[in-house]
A and B are shown apart, each in its own frame.
Chain A
């Protein structure tokens, strides 16, 4: 093997001319292709306040909602008050606040019908409140990072003109300080179709359709800690609420996986989620996230124990 020949061959390989632009675009806070004009036209931002560590009023209810969803408490420092309103197409949509950490993030959304639409559960005996309304959304992130997300109605339906939702997002890559664009586009009601004919097909009908867009700078107070597992070449980001694994080849652990902390205690991994993204036109699923059963201190983790193996966690400096 001729070393000079090898060098000549690889001398002919060059990085793409727009490499710098691509990377800067990926790390910038504005994702590609966002409809800036549409966002400006459609979203009447009435109030813009950004503050952290607020835990009163609606924010307090928000925390309660999270606690009831997950059965655990969040540090107040991880609450970001947003309070932005976007009106149009018969709805006033309020992005009230964001809570969580850089990996597991919860958005609290208030919906108010402006044109007399009834948002209450029309069939409370057979349809659970959380399944009575569905809020569709599009979340745009910088770069090609993946995420897993879902919305859930959390109010009790006592006000027929209002509904409250939580959008829970698991980011594959921690999102501290990232700007994300969140667009809600359809509010649908669940109902039994053809029930009178005995078929009972659960279907959705639109209550309102439009585009309610928000631009949010995620400002997490508690950062994650990045670890690497030697010899396995995948990175793990551990946050107070969970962990995400980038490079999933070795990351799908069986049940019973847990973290060993530096005080000898253990923290079990629960609630596995897959995150997806699109890369060069191909949808991929290669980020996996887990939640913990309690809030932890991320820098106290020393080992990951999974499927009978112990993996040392080496912080990435």
Chain B
């Protein structure tokens, strides 16, 4: 594929998936800057590897898998942990939305990522297992714990507010 064709494919992919990628990144990374970096990394990989896809669903799954892997790599970097996260909000029009996003981001990535794929992207347990390269049992368990933890956090917040 020529460079110009690769660039065109890249631009189309960015337009199709940028919000999807950014939302996954926001759901598991603590800082907006990191989510923006993740978004950039994902599409640089798209450009570099220039993958061929069977269909749109295959492309979406590839993008999500690379996004998840990129975010996990960023979370695992010991150097990143040297820098304390800054108190920073993602753009959000409503207080309730902001509150919900903050709660999700407070979950460990192993819970927030399957939760997001299930709740927002509407993926089934089997599909999430395929994207994350996990067993279905593990995904089920993580989804269950994610819901439980989120429920506890909501209850705790509401208690504090009350």
Q: Please list the residues of chain A having a beta carbon within 8 angstroms of any beta carbon in chain B.
A: 1, 3, 5-16, 19-20, 22-24, 26-27, 143-144, 226, 228, 230-231, 233-235, 246-250, 279-280, 282, 284-286, 316-317
Contacts and interface: CB of A to CB of B under 8 A. Distances in A.
9 contacts: A1-B151, A20-B15, A23-B44, A24-B11, A143-B44, A144-B40, A246-B73, A250-B76, A284-B79
B33 A280 contact: yes
Contact of A285 (B47, B79, B92): B79
Given A15-B21, A286-B80, A6 B100 contact: yes
Nearest to A176: B48
A19 B18 contact: yes
A286 B96 CA distance: 36
Interface in B53-84: 69, 72-74, 76-80, 83
Nearest to B151: A1
B10 to A, nearest CB: 7
A316 B36 contact: no
B77 A317 contact: no
A206 B37 CA distance: 39
Given A233-B69, A248-B79, A249-B73, A6 B22 contact: no
B120 A10 contact: yes
Contact of B22 (A19, A143, A285, A286): A19
Contact of A286 (B11, B77, B151): B77
Interface in B83-129: 83, 90-94, 96-98, 100-101, 104, 116, 119-120
A13 B83 contact: no
Interface of B: 7, 10-11, 14-15, 18-19, 21-23, 26-27, 33, 36-37, 39-40, 43-44, 47-49, 51, 69, 72-74, 76-80, 83, 90-94, 96-98, 100-101, 104, 116, 119-120, 133, 147, 150-151, 154
Contacts of B120: 6-7, 10
A234 B7 CA distance: 25
A13 B26 contact: yes
Given A13-B91, A280-B33, A284-B80, A143 B40 contact: yes
Given A6-B104, A12-B97, 6 more contacts: A12-B91, A12-B92, A13-B23, A235-B69, A249-B77, A279-B37
Given A1-B147, A247-B77, A9 B22 contact: no
B90 A13 contact: yes
